[in-house]
Amino acid sequence: MQNEEQVVQSAKTGDDRAFEQIYEEYFDKVYRYIYVRVGNPPDAEDLTEEVFLKALKSIGSFQWRGVSIAAWLFRIAHNVVVDHLRRISKRQTMPIEDNVPSVGPSPHDKAVINMTMARLKKALTRLTQAQQQVLSMRLAADLSIAETAKVLGKTEGAVKASQHSALVAIRRIFATEYGDA
């Protein structure tokens, strides 16, 4: 996005095209971040839309403080995810799987992918919240180290250290529990 500060200022004055630029720039990143946190595509889609609706409603109060609009959006996303996880922890539901055949990976490949994702998801729960957030932003949302540091209010060195320790911990978990790294 060209001159982010100018685009944000235009969005604050009600310019729909400016907000649309912000939406298009960050939608996929926010969605991937949320998806990694909730693990359910329909919920991730709904929550991502909720993030951008909240952002649209409150863009007028956004204060430019030399930090990317991404930091503000990911703070909203984090809060939306926390609220969602609190709600679902109060009502335990079981997802209904669609039985519609799809074109794509073979059943064997799907089983391997699902098993690997289940193992990864389990391993992620054993990391600290800070490590989970860093991995979600770096790997799922595809944010740079600098962007992640701004979003989390940490130094780039702290983000690198947290990412490194998280990846080492996941490797150790996989080696210990599954015999592979």
CATH of segment(s) 105-181: 1.10.10.10
pLDDT in tens, 8-52: 888 888 888 999 999 999 999 999 999 888 888 999 999 999 999
Give the pLDDT confidence score for residue 84 in this predicted structure.
92
pLDDT in tens, 88-130: 877 655 554 444 445 556 676 777 776 777 777 788 888 888 8
Give the pLDDT confidence score for residue 61 in this predicted structure.
85
CA dihedral 148, 153, 154, 156 (to 10 degrees): 40
Q: Which CATH number fits domain 1-93: 3.30.1130.10, 2.130.10.10, 1.10.1740.10, 1.10.3720.10?
A: 1.10.1740.10
pLDDT in tens, 139-171: 878 888 888 888 888 899 999 999 999 899 888
Q: CATH 1.10.10.10 occupies which residues in the chain?
A: 105-181
Report the distance separating Cα 45 and Cα 96, nearest Å: 17
Q: Is the confidence at residue 181, as pLDDT, over 60?
A: no
Q: Provide the whole-model pTM.
A: 0.65
The token pair at 175 is 């080696």
> Within 13 A of 49's CA, how many CA atoms are on the CB side?
5
Q: CATH 1.10.1740.10 occupies which residues in the chain?
A: 1-93
